[in-house]
Chain A
């Protein structure tokens, strides 16, 4: 198993798309923070938008709300969606599967490496966004969603927790991209489908009559951090989001594993 993981890491490390992704996560937030701070009017309709021009915490939270709509699913799909499909594209399934590596081992190595990379990307993106926002706009006390005033030290902790809370649904999207990668055998489709599904879930979630399905949507979990910024705090949605994300991930991985084990390797 560890051999297959090291093999996958070796390949990822050599790919420009992985380096570009990490670089984007690291540097992308800087111009965004600069552009935001140069705006004349705050985006009042957006969550935390009202204070986004003069409070770094508010800006970091506003950006988190925005990224959850489709940027985060895109970030994880870019590499995860390519993971299995690129073996088809390069015709290398037969190269690796004729070397005493079982499909199972290779499958879990790819899953682990992609989950790890997504976590790393999120951590880098969160750190860079929070740091840029605070540097550009300062760190005064933050006004919470129920109007309460949160001291800067505590606010930093809450903002970091909010960013961390999107990890489960983000990993859910990673697994969705992996499933698409195995299923469609096309990187392009496996990158596009999770993004489109994220937007579709977003829309479904906003339709009033569909309220009962809302908790089961992966995108709903992207908003579960809202409860951290209210007084009193409510953490039910975080737990719910975690369970829903885990269920999505399990179903996607089970499907992907099933497809990979059954398929004939005839290309290449």
Chain B
């Protein structure tokens, strides 16, 4: 059933994930439209995109749950066409919200799933339950679990496989702030142990915090592909919203500075530029006797970039500052 993964021509080990030209259409919707990406062993890779970008569809194809219309995906050098289910050797994770048998307890679910993997020792089940902090609830039926508990059980079920590649589809979805923090800490901890992680997310800050490389998807296609430093280099200058005692004068002063770009967000003045330019404007306002009531940063530059990349039509609240 399984074939030995072929090393690359230069003899280096195969990529953890290598997708080439993946396409999946549902009727007229091109859910995934020619996506190619490559996840190197040992890195934490982020797939970022708004709702409906095609992240889940991509991951379903990776797991063989759906068949691509065209293109291939290789995991550690193995493809579905050649290796069948052997592709999933060393791979674990979950798609959307993890699901379990509600009539079994958390522990029984893990024990049953471990049977499919060829069995796991009782100690190992307890160990992963401890890792995700579920040991004291493991005797309860999953039917009564909260969303966050099921999410954590999903991570436990994945870890049970001792994966080399962990695939998580929006792991923080539906978690409370504490749960999100714990989940990110867990992913970082696992990654520092050498595990390769491919994770999808809506949130730039999540990807920024834990990922090495990122693919940003929009409407099925890749909008950006590269490292976080590359991404930061693309980000627009930080923007600020401004409320003053005299907005007309403030706007005139802002427009007079060549190092600032000026726009309006409804009634509120918006400026974008390097920090020195913004502080320069504040000095100008004070000098002109205009009172500064409020100076609020707009979205972080990366968030702003995310909206630019995924919504080029400009309906996102980036406005002039991003142009």
Q: Which residues of chain A have a CB within 8 Å of any CB of chain B?
A: 3-4, 6-7, 10-11, 14-16, 90-102, 264-266, 268
Contacts and interface: CB of A to CB of B under 8 A. Distances in A.
B195 interface: no
A11 B101 contact: yes
List the 3 closest pairs (A to B, CB-CB), nearest first. A91-B99, A265-B65, A264-B66
B115 interface: yes
B85 A101 contact: yes
Nearest to B157: A95
B116 A101 contact: yes
Nearest to B119: A3
Contacts of A95: 94, 98-100, 113, 157
7 contacts: A14-B101, A90-B102, A95-B94, A96-B113, A96-B116, A100-B88, A264-B65
B101 A90 contact: yes
Nearest to A266: B66
B155 to A, nearest CB: 13
Contacts of B118: 3
Task: Give the interface SS of chain B, mostly helix, strand, loop or mixed.
Answer: loop
B99 A92 contact: yes
Given A92-B100, A94-B60, A94-B96, 19 more contacts: A10-B111, A14-B101, A90-B99, A92-B99, A94-B94, A94-B99, A97-B64, A98-B63, A98-B65, A98-B92, A99-B92, A99-B117, A100-B86, A100-B88, A100-B161, A102-B84, A264-B65, A264-B66, A266-B66
B244 interface: no
Interface in B80-99: 84-86, 88-89, 91-99
Interface in B107-131: 108, 111-113, 115-119
Contact of B99 (A4, A14, A99, A268): A268
Given A14-B104, A94-B63, A97-B65, A7 B94 contact: no
Nearest to B87: A100
Contacts of A10: 108, 111-112, 115
Contact of A7 (B88, B96, B103, B116): B116
A93 B65 contact: yes
A95 B158 CA distance: 10
B121 to A, nearest CB: 15
A11 B112 contact: yes
A212 to B, nearest CB: 43
A152 to B, nearest CB: 45
A3 B116 CA distance: 5
A6 B120 CA distance: 13
A7 B78 CA distance: 26
Nearest to B115: A7
Interface string B47-79: 000000000000010011111000000000000
A100 B85 contact: yes
Contacts of A11: 101, 104, 112
A100 B63 CA distance: 9
Contact of A15 (B63, B103, B119, B157): B103
A127 B244 CA distance: 91
Contacts of A90: 99-102
Contact of B85 (A93, A102, A266): A102
A98 B94 contact: yes
A99 B161 contact: yes
Contacts of A93: 65
A82 to B, nearest CB: 12
Nearest to B67: A264
Contacts of B112: 7, 10-11
A266 B116 contact: no
A142 B161 CA distance: 61
Contacts of A266: 60, 65-66
Nearest to B89: A100
Nearest to B158: A98
